[in-house]
Amino acid sequence: MLILLGVAFVAGVITSLSPCMLPVLPLILAGSASSMDRRRPYVIIAGLVLSFTVFTLAGGALLTALGLPEDLLRDLAIAAMLVMAASLLSRRVAWLLERPLLFLTRRRPSTDGNGLVLGLSLGLVFVPCAGPVLAAVTVLSASGDVGPRIVLMTGAYAIGAAIPMLAIAIGGQRLTSGVKLLRTHAASTRMVAGALLGVGALAIAFGLDQKVTTALPAYGTTFQEKLEENSAVRKELRDLTGSGDALAAGTQVSNAPRAPEFQGLKEWQNTPDGKPLSIAGLRGRVVIVDFWTYSCINCLRTLPHLKAWDKAYRRAGLTIVGVHAPEFAFERVPSNVRSAVKRLGLPYPVALDNDFATWRAYNNDYWPAKYLIDKTGRVRYTHFGEGAYGETESWIRRLLGEKAKTRRTSVTDETPSDITTPESYLGYARLDRYAGSPVIFDKEAPYRFSTRALTQDELAYSGRWTLTPEHARAGEDARLQLRFQANDIFLVLAGEGRVQVRVDGRQVKSVAVSGLPRLYTLARFPKLKRGLLELRFSPGVEGYAFTFG
């Protein structure tokens, strides 16, 4: 245990010096520099350590128990930072904010804002670069298995991350107090700090912090990997979690952890009398566990390969199990999944994982994802996303051994190699890159296209629409425009009616829509194309999500 505590502490130090630190660094500096009270940096960092530790261990369970949204704590933290920014910009707001918190600070009301509130908020928005140590903490916390060891390890990690932060906070405050010009213009300094804090909070709210961190080189990663992924640390982590290496750690699992048993799967299809399968019951066979969902184009492009492998290697000892984990509410309906399995011609067993129990058991994060399990029930190979079909088939043949006497399959790999427009949702819950009139929630309203030209990957509505969390329902004169780059354009549609498809003002096709939600092909081009897509909908037709190939 001492090894893990030391590693967790050092991992925290490395994290605080990595790009993950950059989004909160200006906020720490602004909060510390806004007051000459020398206790303020310590209070801010103490609040950060406290909230990060507590909510890492228990935040998810608390929200689940109360039936609250998972983003609630983060949203409250951002709101608190905006309030703190207002307190730095306004003396009146500062006074009103601090009065209820005097018992925490035991000092007279001031206009310095409250460092504890800021620290608690930063702990909720601080997103460290996760390695195996933090991954173990996350898994155990999600399962509710929080004991003294995991609390100590989380605390060690948080304290390690806090020490460089504290040094930065103290240094920033002393620099501010040492500059005569800033001392003589304290009110202006406070306002600048408040503006910086407000801008930083808004940047986190709109995800700009992620763009900054992903655009920078991941310095420190090599040392962190050497520290956290050596054999001694791995053994300690396995003892702590009671499992093997994280299944999502890479493409090839060399030390072969045991495959988790299926959990919470219902509505089994393509099994005798609909009876469930189990990993234990499949011992002696090679198994592919494929996480997928039927409206995901990335998943659909893998299905020809899975069907070919099932046909070529089932008699040799291969069993494919499709674990259907829904992305949309309509994908949770058993009859919809049954129709999709039949329409797609899937011959192998498929089960519904509506509660994501098996998804969590495998620590999975991807659609699609494949876990290849050998005859003894150990995970030997994993692959996430499309592609690598040749490598996956080589592993199938290797694990089947002499029984794999058939020739290799020959299915064309249709994984896109060009950069295309990302998946784009039409419901307001995940509406992104939207340009147009304001969105009206859950009731029919008029929309109009933007007066400016759409930039790459932006979309906009015109006419009458009803926007729900998951889809957009067309009313009178409903149109949609999207600036795309792709070879192929797909859209999940439902209802009864037609969708007229135009590209760069030219009529391409008219799509007849009928029945429950499913994926429709809107356009295909012989080579990568950039252009303006315009769709004209019959009233009542519903659109869910675009995917591009």
Residue 472 lies in a domain: yes
| pLDDT at residue number 52 | 73
Domain boundary among 339, 370, 403: 403
Q: Are residues 376 and 487 in the same domain?
A: no
Q: Are residues 6 and 146 in the same domain?
A: yes
Domain count, the chain: 3
Residue 417 lies in a domain: no
| pLDDT at residue number 246 | 42
Residue 39 lies in a domain: yes
Query: 122: which 2 tokens?
Result: 């930063």
Residue 361 lies in a domain: yes
Q: Are residues 205 and 286 in the same domain?
A: no
**Region of 273 on the Ramachandran plot (φ > 0 left; ψ -120 to 50 alpha; else beta):** left
CATH number of the domain within which 375 lies: 3.40.30.10
> Would you write out the chain's pLDDT as a tens digit for each of its 549 residues?
666 677 678 776 776 666 556 666 767 766 666 666 677 788 877 877 787 777 767 665 565 566 665 456 666 767 766 776 776 677 666 556 555 544 444 444 443 445 677 767 766 666 555 455 654 565 455 445 567 777 787 778 778 777 877 887 787 777 766 554 444 555 666 677 667 767 777 776 665 654 554 444 444 544 555 555 555 665 666 566 554 444 443 444 445 688 899 999 999 999 998 899 999 999 999 999 999 988 777 788 889 999 999 998 998 899 999 999 887 777 888 888 898 899 889 999 999 998 888 888 888 767 788 999 988 888 888 887 787 788 888 888 888 887 767 778 777 766 665 677 888 889 887 787 888 888 888 899 999 998 888 888 899 999 999 998 888 999 999 999 999 998 889 898 989 999 999 999 999 999 999 887 888 889 988 888 899 999 999 999 999 888 887
- In the numeric block, the tokens 């020809």 are attached to 304
Q: Are residues 279 and 309 in the same domain?
A: yes
Using alpha carbons, list the distances in angstroms from residue 274 to 289, 314, 326, 337, 340: 18, 19, 20, 14, 17
Q: What 8-state DSSP symbol labels residue 272?
A: G
Residue 238 lies in a domain: no
Q: Are residues 431 and 379 in the same domain?
A: no
CA torsion angle 495 496 502 508 (round to 10): 120
Closest CA to 204 of 324, 314, 297, 123: 123
Q: Are residues 114 and 199 in the same domain?
A: yes
Count other Cβ atoms within 10 Å, centred on residue 222. Answer: 9
Q: Are residues 251 and 208 in the same domain?
A: no
Q: Are residues 171 and 255 in the same domain?
A: no
242 by Cβ neighbours in 10 Å (0-12 / 13-18 / 19+) ranks as exposed
CATH number of the domain within which 534 lies: 2.60.120.260
Tell me the residue type at 466.
T
Using alpha carbons, list the distances in angstroms from residue 51 to 8, 249, 276: 17, 28, 43
Q: Are residues 396 and 478 in the same domain?
A: no
Query: 142: which 2 tokens?
Result: 């999600």
Residue 124 lies in a domain: yes
Q: Are residues 285 and 364 in the same domain?
A: yes
Q: Are residues 8 and 138 in the same domain?
A: yes
Domain that holds residue 452: 424-548
Residue 287 lies in a domain: yes
Closest CA to 286 of 311, 315, 264: 315
Domain boundary among 373, 403, 433: 403
Query: 239: which 2 tokens?
Result: 């003892």
Kindly state the helix (H) or strand (E) to which residue 11 belongs, with its residue range: helix 2-16
Domain boundary among 165, 189, 223: 223
CA atoms in the 13 A half-sphere facing the CB of 201: 27
Q: Are residues 256 and 381 in the same domain?
A: yes
Residue 409 lies in a domain: no
